[in-house]
Amino acid sequence: MLTDPAAARAGSLLTIDLEAIQANYLRLKKQLAGVECAAVVKADAYGLGAAQVAPALWKAGARTFFVALPDEGICLRKILPEAEIFILGGLMQGAEEDYLHNNLRPVLNALHEVERWAGLARAKGLQLAAALQTDSGMSRLGLSEQELAGLHAEEGLLRHLDLRFVMSHLACADEPDHPQNREQLQSFREARMAFPHSRASFANSSGIFLGTEYHFDLARPGAALYGINPTPGKANPMRPVVTLQAKVLQVRSIEKGRAVGYGATYRAEAPKRIATVALGYADGFLRHLSGQGSAWYKGTRLPLAGRVSMDVTGLDVSALPPDSLRPGDLVELLGPDQGVDDLAKQAGTIGYEILTALGRRYYRIYRGG
pLDDT grade for 1, boundaries at 50, 70 and 90: low
Per CATH, is 242-338 categorized as 3.10.20.30?
no
Which pLDDT score, from 0 to 100, does residue 337 have? 97
pLDDT 10s digits, 298-340: 999 999 999 999 999 999 999 999 999 999 999 999 999 999 9
Which pLDDT score, from 0 to 100, does residue 320 have? 97
**pTM above threshold 0.75:** yes
Closest among 192, 181, 207 to 145, alpha carbons compared: 192
Which pLDDT score, from 0 to 100, does residue 264 have? 95
Which residue ranges make up each domain of the chain?
A: 18-226, 242-338
Which pLDDT score, from 0 to 100, does residue 37 have? 98
pLDDT 10s digits, 208-258: 999 999 999 999 999 999 999 999 999 999 999 999 999 999 999 999 999
To the nearest 10 degrees (0 to 180), the angle between helices 50-60 and 70-79 is: 60
Domain 18-226, second-level architecture: Alpha-Beta Barrel (3.20)
Q: Do domains 18-226 and 242-338 have the same CATH topology?
A: no
pLDDT grade for 84, boundaries at 50, 70 and 90: very high
Q: How would you write the chain as a 3-class SS string?
A: CCCCHHHHHCCEEEEEEHHHHHHHHHHHHHHHCCCEECEECHHHHHCCCHHHHHHHHHHHCCCEEEECCHHHHHHHHHHCCCCEEEECCCCCCCCHHHHHHCCEEEEECCHHHHHHHHHHHHHHCCCEEEEEEECCCCCCCCECHHHHHHHHHCCCHHHHEEEEEEECCCCCCCCCCCHHHHHHHHHHHHHHCCCCCCEEECCCCHHHHHCHHHCCCEECCCHHHHCCCCCCCCCCCCCCCEEEEEEEEEEEEECCCCEECHHHCEECCCCEEEEEECCCHHHCCCHHHCCCCEEEECCEEEEECCCCCCCCEEEECCCCCCCCCCCCCEEEEEECCECHHHHHHHHCCCHHHHHHCCCCCCEEEEECC
Mean pLDDT of the chain: 96
Which pLDDT score, from 0 to 100, does residue 212 have? 97
C-alpha torsion sign, points 186, 191, 195, 198 = negative
- Would you call 65 exposed, middle or buried from its count of C-beta atoms within 10 A (0-12, 13-18, 19+)? buried
Which pLDDT score, from 0 to 100, does residue 117 have? 97
pLDDT grade for 147, boundaries at 50, 70 and 90: very high
* Span 90-114, average pLDDT: 97
Fill in the amino acid letter for 247: K
d(CA 163, CA 61): 23
Cα end-to-end distance, the chain, whole Å: 21
pLDDT 10s digits, 163-193: 999 999 999 999 999 999 999 999 999 999 9
Q: What percent of the chain has pLDDT over 70?
A: 99
On the question of pLDDT at 289 being above 70, the answer is: yes
Q: What percent of the chain has pLDDT over 90?
A: 95
What is the strand order of the sheet 128-133 is part of?
36-37, 218-219, 199-201, 161-167, 128-133, 104-108, 84-87, 64-67, 39-40
The tally of CA atoms less than 13 A away on the side-chain side of residue 133 is 26
Least confidently predicted of 87-101, 153-167, 201-215: 153-167
On the question of pLDDT at 364 being above 90, the answer is: yes
On the question of pLDDT at 100 being above 70, the answer is: yes
- Catalytic residue numbers read 42, 262
